[in-house]
Structure 1
């Protein structure tokens, strides 16, 4: 294992993206993510402080991380979210300032967006799985679609680009809205990114038969637009297509068309666990070192061990595949 230079794994992948979960709590209860009641939240004393997040992020940036993506749960539930963004936006990697992105459900975004942009937020993804009020309430178990729409409108008006809207495609739930969702995104100057439903629900009820596949998504969209592949994907999770030669749409096909071979992402959970894969069943605990006075070199060594141990792929289609014990809200997107 190299003790300096880029964050390299045994398969030659250089890691440049750190997903930082700020909380496991969320203002929605999406059926594919967590149950409505009985959730076991992380103990408050285990949640990383802003100082601890910034320390880990700075060490990661020194090792070559160039993007921090803030996730949850819902990151905007964190009371000091603006301070987190401001301090992370000040971090630099050897190649220059680090980019700060965020994935949010958008519910309180309209109220917070201006201060987040002033603090240094560079990019934004907003989750929206349906345009119908009844479906939104059934899917999220909360009647908050008006708040999400206000958040999307604020983001569109802000000029913050690129702006992306994320949709989990689900059979019998929203698969008849795929074209409408793309059109909605285009109207707001955003790129719609469809995500294949993954086995990351806290209740472990995922069933492949309910997942709308990449090919089904593309077949639906091709009925309305001419799709032209966008080259140069690199390590990005989404494949992208131009619609009639203009705006773009993306598909993240983690199940049917895995992109593990180019993966450059790591994850830091809200309670200080490093994960080298979204589907990993093993974590590297930074919390004891962070809170026992460990030197930065010790924390970097844990970071490098985590990267070095990364498997070639998630093996969802392998009979031995085990779903992670944590749900998506506790892992962080």
Structure 2
């Protein structure tokens, strides 16, 4: 179908019948870590401040998404969203919307122990914290910063503030931390966190991703099954990116213990994707791996009303491709790295 055949539907639908109800909002491209699968040790040129949406602009676009486009979940990402000075206000304004969206945050956890109570009071529902290793030396090798104690403190602070379930996102790199899957799961179970392993994706600024070197979902599961009894989760997955398993034979854990694997590369879930993305500089991305963006910032700053912004957003999402195309020989990585896209 051509874009002109789009039905009269106010939601963020695409030509394959998918409806985007989960909005990922990047609040900054800046980060206080330098994870090797994301950016080089020296960092990257950050977006010029005038290009970044103001707090009021972010709030307005979230309002358009929720009130006019049917978005039901909003996740704040980065870069590192805790570096955004107006984060608490943005969360509070989003929580005041009706219908109220579910609000979450993806963070590296640095400073979260200090900020978690205020974010919870503002209306944040839960957090995902990135943690790839439990070894301080490996953490320094991966992130080029010695901040593991701060991340662990952030996890504990989030749980204490009630930002639950606290989820951990872990990426395994071959020859670096690929032996830590069982230890990470044991740590998560001991602390009541929910662990999600994510296959390394071609989103690094260096564009050095190599599929042959990627630790696959099958390898991760095999490592876990060598030490844990895993059974398929009977709960319907829906549009969730993670396949989850129940962890049996675990003592001292209240309720069913689960672990998830997000196999973006080897087990793609594009057919059920319900996500849209808004970058820190006001661009709509219909896919994490898209090479095309649609500008909302220009229209916003040129005086477009909410209905016009919504119309442009619908048009942008209508053109979403059937899948990310990583297996296609013509696939090219996005020109922007993950830190500038938002997870």
Q: In structure 1, what is the Cα distance between the partners aligned to 2:301 and 2:205?
A: 29
With normalisation by structure 2, the TM-score equals 0.94
SS at match of 1:97: coil
Contact 2:120-2:162 within 8 A present in 1 as well: no
2:24 is equivalent to residue 19 of structure 1:
yes
Question: Are 2:33 and 1:28 aligned?
Answer: yes
CA distance in 1 between partners of 2:213 and 2:185 (Å): 21
Q: CA deviation at 1:142?
A: 0.4
Q: 1:75 aligns with which of 78, 81, 89?
A: 81
- 2:193, 2:73 → 1: CA distance? 20
1:301 aligns with 2:311: yes
In the other structure, the counterpart of 2:253 is: none
Deviations 1:237-286 (A, max 9, x none): 11100001730000000000000000000000000000000000000001
Residue in 2 that maps onto 1:319: 329
* Alpha-carbon distance in 1 for matches of 2:149, 2:170: 17
By how many angstroms is 1:302 displaced?
1.3
Return 5+ residue gaps in structure 2 as ranges: 1-5, 250-255
Distance (whole Å) between structure 1 residues aligned to residue 75 and residue 339 of structure 2: 15
Instruction: Report 1:177-216 matches (<5 A).
Output: 177-216=180-219
Question: How many residues were matched structurally?
Answer: 330
Alignment partner for residue 260 of structure 1, among 253, 261, 270?
270
Partner of residue 103, structure 1: 106
Aligned to 1:236: 240
Q: How many Å separate the matches in 2 of 1:2 and 1:69?
A: 28
CA contact (8 A) 1:21 1:332 kept: yes
* Corresponding residue for residue 59 of structure 2: 54
Alignment partners' CA distance in 2, 1:38 and 1:108 = 20
Q: Secondary structure at the match of 1:137?
A: helix
Listed as ranges, the gaps of 5+ residues in structure 1 are: none
Asked if the contact 2:94–2:100 (Cα under 8 Å) also holds between the matched residues in 1, the reply is no
Distance 1:188 1:218 in 2: 21
Shifted more, 251-260 versus 5-14: the winner is 5-14
**Match of residue 292 from structure 1:** 302
Q: Counterparts of 2:43 and 2:138 in 1: how far apart (Å)?
A: 23
Alignment CA distance shift 1:105-1:38 (3 Å): closer
Matches of 2:163 and 2:206, distance apart in 1: 36
Partner of 2:171: 168
Distance 1:119 1:258 in 2: 35
- TM-score, length of structure 1 as denominator length: 0.97
Aligned to 1:8: 13
CA deviation digits over 1:149-172, x for unaligned, max 9?
111111222332221000011111
Please show how residues 110-129 of structure 1 align to structure 2 within 5 Å. 110-129=113-132
1:226 & 1:174 partners in 2: Cα distance? 22
Provide Cα deviations, 1:11-46, integer angstroms capped at 9, x if missing partner: 011111000000000000001100122511111001
